[in-house]
Structures are given as structure tokens and as C-alpha cells.
Structure 1
Amino acid sequence: MIIEPVSQLGLARHLMITIKDKNNNKEKRFETPNVIIYGNLVDNGIPGDIISFATSYKTHEGALIRFPRADYIPYEEKIVKEGNVALVIGAPKESLKDVDIVFTIISKDVGSSYRRTLDTIIKIRRVMRDDAILYVSGYFKPGSLPILYYFGVDLVDDAFLVGDPKRNVIARNMVKVAEKVRKLIDEKRLRDYIEIIARKSQYNASMIKIGEKDYFKELERGYPVLNEKKVLMTVFEEALYRPDVRRYIERLREYYVPPRSERVLLLIPCSYRKPYSKSKTHREILKALSKIKNRYAIH
């Protein structure tokens, strides 16, 4: 398996995966984030027959990626490694840096809680290599899929849709979301999109707010120091916790020292017109300040 990084934003990575089929010596390639399709929809996403599902109730003989067999028992924690892949159930107690792809299952009771979902994902990612793949199966809310990708999930599947009459429709939408997320990672705009998603449900809003607040260190490592477009698109409270904003605030608290000659801190409100030099309000304030004798006492 060859894993080629394309781009990254925080824990979200756009990867190109190449797997060689030893039977016919051909290569199969796919990108992440992506959706593994086990249903009838095969025109998009990743065909489910290239991956062995790892649990006793879903296997694919001859799959290019084969996870070790293991019975899924709720609340039982285990790690089973085989070659360059690993199956993880629960919180990992050992390093996974020697494997290329990690598979885990999120049960319905875990998936219904954004805190437990994030805790499961982050604990696994902490012990993985940065370029390794995290495949999460089980229960999750389709509307929260971009947020899962944002917090480091690379692959999901449609197994939780078994029996759902809208399975193909939902799966097709999931594939479209994955395609969009890959593009947004490349453009370094995924976080802007996540903020829009967060407004669609309380679950999403809480997930992004708590996730960025509790896992800032993990997210911040992969965040660019400079934004090439120099544009921050946000208007909501959740923006206070996004890694680039929080990094700036913490840097300001830690390193900024006000000039000793200045005694008064003047806070000027934001203006509708940008840049501020064109704002009537700001021009009037600067005009008034210019008439003060001790102008340099104001900061």
C-alpha cells in the first residue's frame, strides 16, 4: 500500500492510496476522505469488495485490504494486528504507528453522543502515524460526516444503512460530501464549511465547539500558520475555538507587551466598511485623537 499526502488542514487529510492486486498485478487507486460502499451503489465511492470488513458478520474473500477476523463484543476493548492493518475496538492501549490502516467500529450508543464519538476518534488518532488511514464503521449521523472528516476520519461506509429504503440515496449523498471535503481540504476552506454545517443541528454545533475546545493541540499541529488567501470567513461564536483564531489569541496573551509610554487602552468597534481606513467612524475617531496633546498615551 502506498499512501501519498495531497493536502492537510488540521486532522483532515486528502490522501491518494495505491494498492497493488497481487492476483493480476494491477493497481487500484482511491482518494480519502471517502466512503466504502457495501450496497448496490457502485458508480461512486470505494467498492466494498476491495476491503475485508474485519468482523464476523461481514467479510470479503480475496479483498485487497484484509483486516484480521474478530467478533465484535460491545464494551470489550481489543487491538488485533495483522501485517500493515489493525482492528481496534475501544480505546487503544498501545501504539499503532506500525500499521498503515486502522479499522474501528462506533456502536449506536457511542455514535449518539458527540463527546464519546470524538473521544474514540482522537484517542485512536493519537497513537497512529500522521499518514496512516483511519476507517470508522458503525453508527454515525450522515449530516455530521464533514465534521468526522475534520477530526481525522479518512474512511466511513454505508453498513449502518442496511435495511434503510433510502440507502442508495443517502450513500450517494455521502460520496458527494466526501468529494466536496477533499476539495475544501485542498483549498484550506474546510473549516469555513464546517461552520455552516454546525448551524444545521445542535448535535453538529456542540460537536465542533467541544471538539475544537478539547482537542486544540491535535488540530493545531496540522493548521497552516499563514492563510494564503488572508480571508477568515466566519460570523458565529464557534469561530472563537477554531485553531487559527485560538492560536492567534494565545500568542497575543503570551507574547504581546503594550508600550510603556501608553496608559489608556482604546477599543474601537468593528465597522461595516473595510478596510478600516475607509470607515467614516474610524476616520472620525482618528481625527479626534489627533487633537489630543498626549496622543501617544492612548493605545
Structure 2
Amino acid sequence: MKIVGYFLLGLALLTCKQKNAQLNLERKKSNMNKYAPMQFDTRPYYTIQIAKGGSTVELFVNDIIVYRYLEQGGLSVNVPINATLMKSGTHELKLKVYPDKGKTYLDEYSYVNIDVRLYADVDDPASEYRSILKFDLPEETKTTKVPYFEIELPFKAEVPFDLGYILDNAEILKGQDNIEKEIIGEYKNAHKAFKNLDAQWFIDKRREGNYAVATAFYLTQDQYHKRESNFKSLFDLNAKVEPIEEFEIEYAAKGKIAYLVQKGTRGPVLRSFINKGEANQEEITIMIGLYRKKGSNTFSFF
């Protein structure tokens, strides 16, 4: 109360410089409010249930990777995809299937089952759902010595938000002069910030992306801030950050997003370890996608 009183009392004595400072403060507050999650009457929740065995898989929605499992063995997992839908309309699911490690072709042990699901509400994912799209790896791929399988499958989804402006207003990075040098340079900046435990540098870079995720999954204000707090916990004093060595650049969203990934595993290049090499080893990874708004000379994180 004392601070508020002092502020109110000082209003009549503001100089031009003080007025500018107050205006800047109000703009900052307005900018913070801009990233407050929106609330909706309906909260549809879309996922892709994937089961696979005898193969490795990559799954994309609207040309953005949503799941990648290049290790041997079977699994079944339900992958949330609201954040890559961006807006209502027709969307594209792309499935890539590779032989298991040590094999040249898909065989009789290879299977992949895909089920795009719609749940009525994000807080009740165990409730009944409606299947939007189903797909099974064709039987002929198992008997004709296929070294690789890929398919694109359209599906429709209706959501109460429209985040399409983010990529609509982004430039196409792929094919630009010197873009690879710029991408690597930005990842070096990220690596430096990771080593320096500078979580705020990442948070500032990913504000629009963080807002989009929060909106797409209908996070409350508390959940939004908890997510940011959880991100900060990745910056651990006891962790040793790995150098960026063998890597390659991957493009997504029709060339508008760029990732630096490890060669071979295609995993994140921003990695740190706690107790590396020991039984209680813990790996920490940060995956960032770079995009750039039209007319800007700086990257943001998707």
C-alpha cells in the first residue's frame, strides 16, 4: 500500500523523462499481458496414438516434427498435437517408417498403427474420444523388401484459437544466402547461454512460442508460469554442458523453421549431463526451432 500511495502522490510531479519511464513501464506490462494465456469456452484436445514395432518412425504434422523414435523396440505412445495445428482447417500428417537398426528392409515384424484422436476437453484425456484418422502400415511393405515407407495423410481439425499468424508472418529460411552460417551462429549463442545458466535469454527468445503453446493447450495463468519455472530448472549448476560437434540442419514448416540436430540420432544438440557415465546419469536436453519474422534480423524460438 505504501508503494502505491507514493506512486499516486508522485503523479503530479512527473517530469518529461519520468513520463517516458512510466510509459515504458506500462508498455512492458502490456507486453507481459499479451502473453497471458487466453481462455475458451471449448477446449478440444487432439493427439496421435502411435504403436510401432520392428521399425523406427518419424511423425510430422504440418511439416513440423511431433514425434521421432529411431531406437529399436516396440512402443505405444499418445502424442499431443494441438500446438502444431495452429488453427482450424485441413492439416497434413506425414509418417516416415524405416527398418529397425541392423536391418535393410521392413519385414514381417514391422508394424505401425496411427490413430488421430479428438478428446472433448484437454483436462479429460482418459475420456471417450473420436477417431479422426486411422492408418496401418500396409501388409505389402512387409513382404516386398521395402527399405523405406512414407505417406502423407490429410485430416480436419477444429480449434478455438488461431495462431497461424506466427508462421504466416515468418520468412522462408531455407535457401537464403549465408543462412546456415546464421543458424549455426544462433545455436552457438544458445549454447553459450546454456553454459552460463542464462535461462532468461531463452525465455525472452521463446515468448511468442511459449504463448502459442500455452494457448494451444489452454493453460491457466498458474500453469503458464509453472511451465516457465520448469524450464528454468533445466539450468542446473551440477550439469556439464556438452559441446556442439557432429550436427546437421533440418528445416520444417516449408522451410520457415530450422533445427540443428545431432547427426545420426537427430536428437537435440543442446545437451547437458549430471553424473555422466554413472548409474544415476541424467541427461538434460533443449530443443529449439529457429524462425524469423519478415523484416526482422533476429531469430525467435518456435
Q: TM-score when scaled to structure 2? A: 0.21
**Higher helix proportion (structure 1 or 2):** 1
